[in-house]
Structure 1
């Protein structure tokens, strides 16, 4: 399971154009932890998985799924070096979009 999650995190991270340092800064951990997670050598806490899910615009279940789709919610942005605050803002926007999609599904039926 750890390897599936690690592979999915790498896929999503690459798909959004983030590097391991961006993710480490966002989670307030060392970059080596992100590398080990992606290799399946370490696992993340549930809180960290939830933060990453919001950042990537997917559900936690999607990160844990063996058949993750590389596409996620995405917004265009241009920056050479994203700060932790920038990533928090992206995460907040994605969380709003995910909640909106969820509410739309509830209203359908």
Structure 2
């Protein structure tokens, strides 16, 4: 499962135009950990997976799934100058959007 999660994290990271260094800064870890995660050599904590899911605008289930699909919430940020604070802001906005989608689904059902 670590290989699938790592591959999906890399796919989502690349789709957003983020570097491993951006993700490491956001998670407050060393860049080498992100490299190892993407290679399937290490795993992330549940808290880190949740933070990444919000940043990428997807569910944790999507990150753990075998075929990741781009979310309608995904945006490409083609800047290597994004700070951890910028990524925190993006994550918070995505969390609101994901919760809104979830609430809308509940109201339909």
Does TM-score exceed 0.5, indicating one fold?
Answer: yes
Contact 1:37 1:44 in 2 (8 A): yes
Aligned residue in 2 for 1:90: 90
Instruction: Judge which range, 73-82 or 20-29, deviates more.
Output: 73-82
Q: Displacement, 1:84?
A: 0.6
Task: Please tell me whether residue 13 in structure 1 is matched to residue 13 in structure 2.
Answer: yes
Alpha-carbon RMSD? 1.4
Question: 1:38 and 1:77, CA in 2 relative to 1: closer, same or farther beyond 3 A?
Answer: closer
Question: Alignment length, in residue pairs?
Answer: 109
Aligned residue in 1 for 2:35: 35
TM-score for both structures, normalised by structure 2: 0.94
User: Map of 1:1-109 to 2, 5 A cutoff?
Assistant: 1-75=1-75, 79-109=79-109
Greater than 3 Å deviation, 4+ residue runs: 75-80
What runs of 5+ residues in structure 1 fail to find an aligned partner?
Answer: none
Q: Distance in 1 between matches of 2:78 and 2:13?
A: 16
